Amino acid sequence: MVVDQREDDEHPDLLEPIGAGGRATVWRAWHRGRVVAVKRPADGSPEAVERLEREARLAARIAHPRVLPVSAQLRTPDGPLLVQPYAIGGSLADRLARHGALAPCEAVQLAAQVAEALTAVHAAGIVHRDVKPANVLLDGAGGPLLADFGAAVTAREAAAGTRPAEGSPAYAAPETLTGHASPRADLFGLGATLYEALTGSLAATGDPGGAGIETRLRRSVPGLPPALTGLVASCLAADPEGRPDSAAVVRARLLELVEPLRNWQPDADAALAAWAAQDDPRVTRTFGPRPPRSVTPTPGSSAPSPLAVAVAAIATFVAPIAVAGLLT
C-alpha cells in the first residue's frame, strides 16, 4: 500500500474530536465527500510531527482488511494530517464500557481476527507495541480493525531497543519497559485485550501471567474451557518465552474454540462456589454479600433451605447473562 502524500488541495473539515493522546489528536472529519478520521499532532513540536510521519510510513507497509489503513497523508500549514477510514462502531474499549463483557464466543472470534491482523503486521516486519481495546476499532458489522501505529517500531528496532519505550502500562509486556520487544510483546497485549473482553476488567495490575491469571479468569467467568483460560494465561506470561510462538498460532488455537463456545452456558456449580468463596470482586458484585452461616428465622417464618439459597444465587448469575445475550 502506498500512502497518498499531497499538498493540501482540499483541507478536511474537522467536525469533532473523538480521541486524544499525549502525541496526537483524532477528529471526525468531512473530506472529499465522506466522513473520515483525521489524526494530527497534538502540538507542532518536531517530535510529534516526526512520530505522525513515521506512523504513516509504517502503516503503508501493511495491507490487510483487519488493519485500519492510512489512506492519505496531507501536508498543511498546521502540520501533517493522516486521513483514515472512520470506524462507525467506535472502539472495543467504548463497547466494553457501555455494555460490559462480551459473550465468550464473540470475544474469541474478535480476538482471532485481531490475531490475524497481527500476523500481517509481524510479516511486514513491524511490532505494534500498543495492542489494547482502545486501539481495536469496530466496523459497521462489529468486526475489529487494529489501529494506531504511533508506538510501532520495526522488528529490528524492537530487538535492538533503539526506540524509547511506549504503550499503555496495563497492556504492555514487561520487556517493553526497557525499550526491547519482539512480536511476542504484541501477544501480551492481545491476551490482556481478550481477558478484558471476557471479564470486563483489566487482566492484572502487578503480577501478570501465570496461574494467577488463569484462576482469576475461571472465577470471573465460571465454566470457561481450560483451553481458553490456559491460552489467555500463556499470552500474559511475564517471560516472552512462555508465550505462544506467534500470532498465527494464537489465531489457530482461538478458532478451535469458536464452535465449542457457540452454545456455552456458565457453570452454575462453579459460579456458586466462587460466590461462596467471595474472593473475587466481580462475583461479589454479581451475587451480593454472602449470608451468615446460621439464620435465625423470624416468628412465623422458616429459614431458607440451602437448596433455595443456591437456586437463587444461580438465577442471579444466569439472568443477567441471558439478558446481555439478547441485547448483543
Catalytic site includes residue 279: no
Query: b/e string for 65-74 if b means 16 or more Cβ within 10 A?
Result: ebbbbbbbbb
Catalytic choice (43, 130, 239, 267) = 130
Query: b/e string for 161-186 if b means 16 or more Cβ within 10 A?
Result: eebebbbbeebbbebbeebbbbbbbb
- All cell numbers assigned to 222: 465460571
User: What does the alpha-carbon distance between residue 176 and residue 178 come to, in Å, rounded to a whole number?
Assistant: 5
Element counts in the chain: helices (H) and strands (E):
11, 10
User: What does the alpha-carbon distance between residue 121 and residue 119 come to, in Å, rounded to a whole number?
Assistant: 5
3-state secondary structure of 19: strand
- All cell numbers assigned to 14: 474537522
Q: What is the largest CA-CA distance in the chain?
A: 85
User: What does the alpha-carbon distance between residue 230 and residue 207 come to, in Å, rounded to a whole number?
Assistant: 16
Compute how many other C-beta atoms are within 10 angstroms of the C-beta atom of residue 267.
Answer: 17
Helix (H) or strand (E) holding 84: strand 79-85
- The sign of the CA dihedral 84, 85, 86, 87 is negative
3-state secondary structure of 291: coil
Nearest alpha-carbon partner for 117 in 79, 157, 146: 146
- All cell numbers assigned to 315: 438465577
User: What does the alpha-carbon distance between residue 267 and residue 91 come to, in Å, rounded to a whole number?
Assistant: 30
Catalytic residue annotation: 130
